[in-house]
Chains A and B, each alone.
Chain A
Amino acid sequence: MDSLNALVVIANFVVVPGLAYGSQLALGALGVTMVYSVLRFSNFAHGELMSFGAMVTVLLTWWLQAQNIGLSVLPTALIALPIAMVVTVLLALATDKLVFSYYRQKRSESVTYLIVSVGVMFTIGGLIRFIIGPADRVFTDGQRFLLKARAFKKMTGLNEGLAIKTTQGVTIIVAVIVVALIFWFLNKTKTGKSMRAYSDNEDLALLSGINPERVVMITWIITGALAALAGTLYGLDKSYKPFTYLSLLLPIFASAIVGGVGNPVGAIIGGYVIAFSELFITFAYKKVATYMLPAAWAPEGLVQLLSTDYKIAVSFVILLVVLLIRPTGLFAGKTI
């Protein structure tokens, strides 16, 4: 019984939140990786792109709520999400047309793109604050929990409860569906294959008659859609605050790099690696230890490796360690 209770504690405080947060990071990292493998630069504007998508969802959700349109149990934001994805894709395409395409024609170095993307980051960030302001917005509605802690206790007769928020469930399911779609697209369709070819060897792809502009366009479409999705899911799960997305950028880069930049499988695994390390390292093991150890050994302190204040810092440390020891990431290679 005790070991089951201990497992439930870990499931409740680490596994479920980790899966949800990991999915959000994975979707974000997938976008970063796509841009990197096709356009060959680290896009610092990706966080703001996510924020923009989430903002459009928030605005549409408000409008839908005012019209009394909803999904009863599920959050209304799910209706708004597809439209937000389209709008974000349009923004991504517009930034490419207005900003990045010029440097592509000039064949600029990747560091130029990097600095340009900082400019884009500022501009989109300013646009967002201009439209919706910097305040904190909660926009989730519908049923709050898929599984309530008390119901779980009653069901199983354990001391510890397991709660799953609706937003966590939605995040994980949506992430699985989208990731499956992306891999199907990249591996089975002709367009997807042409993208992979282009990212693998640009010149060879050009020689085989692949249209680079089309590949770039499709990359931005996927990136924009993924960004809106990741941003919205994160906002649903926590709350929407324009400011947080810049600090989310580093865990996302960390996920992409840990998995091996340019590798979609790596990006997804990297997302979960980062999320779970953040949670496991900052988790207080006191309750678990109390269940698992004999009563005499029960710990007094929190039994915590690092205080939860350092949660995001954990991902930076992992990022640094990976960059220093194995910059190619777990799955080497920059092909998609």
Chain B
Amino acid sequence: MLPQSTHLSSEKKRIYVLFGIMAVLFVIVGQVQSWNLSLAILNLCLISAIMTLGANIQWGYAGIVNFGIMGFAALGGLAGVLVSMPPVQAGWQAGGMSLLGGAVIIVLTSVLSVFVWGRIKHITHWRYWIMTAVILAGYLVMRAIVDPAVEVIESIESAKAGHIGGLNLPILVSWVVGGIFAAGAAYVIGRISLGLRSDYLAIATLGISEIVIYVLKNEDWLARGVKNVNGLPRPVPYEIDLQAEQWVINLASRLDTDVPEMSSIIVKLSYAGLFTIVLLILFWLFETALRSPWGRMMRAIRDNEVAANAMGKHVTAKHLQVFVLGSAVVGLAGAMLTTLDGQFTPASYLPLRFTFLIWIMVIVGGSGNNFGSILGGFVIWFFWIESEPLGLWLMDVLTAPLSETSALRGHLLASAAHMRLMTMGLIMLLMLRFAPQGLIPETKR
């Protein structure tokens, strides 16, 4: 028993020390740069940590390689628009029925193709062609119904609307809806692709997430495409209203800052509070799940699928379950991100930032450990932002011997901003090589 307990306490110590260092880093940024920046980084660290938790239950608990994180985050963001924006009545009246008709056709085509697929098993030669014909016919009918409606919707006040709008509900509702959107997509994707080998699954999910982004970028009727949706409602007060409040003015004078700065800090703190609540709830749920029989079963499947199967566990069903769960959490985080930004910008979803960076967070933090995931989200996002000023400073010191006008010095200083990709790559490679278990390794249970 003794070695076990010392092991646990050393892990606890590690957690305290590493999170302590993280806290000190935030204080340093607050003091050296500004508290506003420090809190801005903190908010995105919290969102990253939630995304990482989602990715971690897929990779760390179950060993599923999901390279489609970006797509689920974007679906969550879409929920932000569809839930919170006011509906464009004219758009609904002009094209709502056609859009619904199109959706019905899509569902009918899917059902029909699954039915036909089962019925024509014996026609081996023509099977694919018949299927293609069925799907193509459904697609053309859908286009014929939807195209005119889309044209009308996109032409209504295209400078500020041009889409169907949303449900005008509080944006906090979208956090749940975003999770549901992502879960629904994950269910469909998982059903068709979880049987694939790990590297094919990685490529397939990456491809699907790209398709999601393409659709969001080009279907203007849905969320204005690359024209972006701005001015989403907020769950927290606006700076301008806070600046009129007496207590804010008093607080600012007591803390020796100006009022706009103070109001902005209060807004960021409120977001941080909301995000922290979500993070704590999810963390508690995931830790409980990990300790439960379900968690033991997941690890058993991850470590030896054949044995788990022999013990009567339905491996594919459990994989699907964990894939849906993890993706829902990513979708939730995506909706939170859109809420924080106050806008939905499909063009900003890049695989480097939303898929691979999250993977680095999982790996560096420690796959299979929830504390590790949170830490990974914090550390990597912190350095993703801070590597720019740090790189600039480092370059300045390194190139100090060169003359002020040297072309090389100029180039190096200008390129320092691009240091972060390389830094992230090197951090990931070094971790994988020398500490593959991450900063906080998975607890042996």
Binding site for B on A (CB under 8 A): 41-42, 99, 102, 110-112, 114-116, 118-127, 129-131, 133-134, 246-247, 250, 253-254, 257, 307, 309-310, 312-313, 316-317, 319-320, 323-325, 327
Known contacts A111-B65, A316-B210: A121-B363 contact under CB 8 Å: no
Known contacts A126-B423, A131-B415: A111-B198 contact under CB 8 Å: yes
Contact (Cβ within 8 A) B198 A110: yes
Contact (Cβ within 8 A) A320 B207: yes
Partner of B207, one of A42, A250, A325: A250
Interface assignment of B277: CB less than 8 Å from any CB of chain A: no
Q: Which residues of A contact B199 (CB under 8 A)?
A: 41-42, 110-111, 114
**Which 4 residue pairs are nearest across A and B when measured between Cβ atoms?**
A126-B422, A122-B425, A123-B425, A126-B421
Closest Cβ of chain A: how far from B430's Cβ, in Å?
9
Known contacts A120-B425, A126-B418: A309-B432 contact under CB 8 Å: no
Binding site for A on B (CB under 8 A): 63, 65, 128, 192-193, 196-200, 202-204, 206-208, 210-211, 214-215, 217-218, 351-352, 356, 359-360, 363, 414-415, 418-426, 428-429, 432-433
What are 16 A-B pairs at a CB distance below 8 A? Answer: A110-B198, A111-B63, A111-B198, A114-B65, A118-B356, A119-B432, A121-B356, A126-B422, A130-B418, A131-B415, A246-B351, A246-B352, A307-B218, A310-B214, A313-B210, A323-B196
Closest Cβ of chain A: how far from B140's Cβ, in Å?
9
Q: Which residues of A contact B65 (CB under 8 A)?
A: 111, 114-115
Contact (Cβ within 8 A) A115 B421: no
Contact (Cβ within 8 A) B218 A310: yes
Contact (Cβ within 8 A) A115 B359: yes
Closest Cβ of chain A: how far from B380's Cβ, in Å?
11
Closest to A318 in B: B207
Q: Which residues of A contact B215 (CB under 8 A)?
A: 313
Closest Cβ of chain A: how far from B186's Cβ, in Å?
15
For the complex, give the distance between the alpha carbons of A288 and B192 in Å: 37
Q: Which residues of A contact B206 (CB under 8 A)?
A: 250
Known contacts A313-B214, A327-B196: A133-B418 contact under CB 8 Å: yes
Known contacts A115-B359, A319-B204, A327-B196: A121-B418 contact under CB 8 Å: no
For the complex, give the distance between the alpha carbons of A111 and B360 in Å: 15
Known contacts A123-B429, A309-B218: A319-B418 contact under CB 8 Å: no
Known contacts A130-B419, A133-B414, A324-B192: A122-B428 contact under CB 8 Å: yes
For the complex, give the distance between the alpha carbons of A257 and B414 in Å: 40
Partner of B128, one of A116, A120, A323, A325: A325
Q: Which residues of B contact A110 (CB under 8 A)?
A: 198-199
Partner of B415, one of A102, A130, A317, A319: A130
Contact (Cβ within 8 A) B198 A116: no
Q: Which residues of B contact A118 (CB under 8 A)?
A: 356, 359, 428
For the complex, give the distance between the alpha carbons of A257 and B202 in Å: 13
For the complex, give the distance between the alpha carbons of A24 and B192 in Å: 30
Contact (Cβ within 8 A) B428 A119: yes
Contact (Cβ within 8 A) A320 B204: yes
Partner of B422, one of A122, A320, A325: A122
